[in-house]
Amino acid sequence: MRVDYWGYDGARHRGDLIVRSDVASTVAGVFGKLYAGRFQIRRIHPVTQYGSSDESSMEANNTSAFNCRAVTGGGGWSEHAYGTAIDINPVQNPYVTASGTVLPRSGRPWTDRTLREPGMITPNSVSRTAFAAVGWYWGGDWTNPKDYQHLSLRDR
């Protein structure tokens, strides 16, 4: 699906997300709310643009959805493999383990969640509330790990 979004440059952009067909209209509605709320996103490209490497996509601060991969740090398939999860602005919304590992590494400054920088997902941000309104879960609500970039149809 193609979505409009506000870039960090303040300009309108279009990006492509690959999601499961039965959630596409819901995701389109949420991205419409993000756009209306002027929530900023660095870039949106399918992970294939980064050789299907989750690490490379995160380091590029790329917002993405489908990626056929296992759960980070665990077994089984990730919700991304089913097209029912989206990672938004991974640098400003890093994945943080209990031991302090931060992915992507460039996201370390944004582990301080008291910051209020463009593109950060916080409990009351338009991104968090728009996804919650349609029944999606935020990885920032998890205890361990904290996956601030992650929004998905199913909770862990």
Give the residue-averaged pLDDT of 94-111.
97
Which strand ranges, in their side-by-side order, compose the sheet holding 102-103?
A: 102-103, 95-96, 146-147
Give the pLDDT score at 22.
97
90 preceded by a cis bond (ω within 30 of 0)? no
Spelled out in words, what is the top-level CATH class assigned to the domain 2-152? alpha beta
Give the residue-averaged pLDDT of 114-131.
96
Give the residue-averaged pLDDT of 120-135.
97
The span from the CA of 126 to the CA of 121, in Å, is 8
Cα angle 20-75-96, degrees, rounded to a multiple of 5: 85
Give the residue-averaged pLDDT of 72-90.
91
Give the pLDDT score at 28.
98
Residues 16-75 pLDDT 10s: 999 999 999 999 999 999 999 999 999 999 999 999 999 999 999 999 999 998 888 777
Give the pLDDT score at 155.
84
Give the pLDDT score at 23.
98
Give the pLDDT score at 75.
77
Give the pLDDT score at 74.
72
Helix, strand or coil for residue 34?
A: helix
The pair phi, psi for residue 106, each rounded to 5°, is -70, -10
Cα-based distances in Å from 51 to 39, 67, 131:
27, 11, 28
Model's pTM, two decimal places?
A: 0.95
Cβ within 8 Å of residue 101, ≥6 positions away:
none
Domain coordinates of the chain in residue numbers? Answer: 2-152
Give the residue-averaged pLDDT of 126-154.
97
List of E strands, 7-125: 12-16, 43-44, 62-63, 85-87, 95-96, 102-103
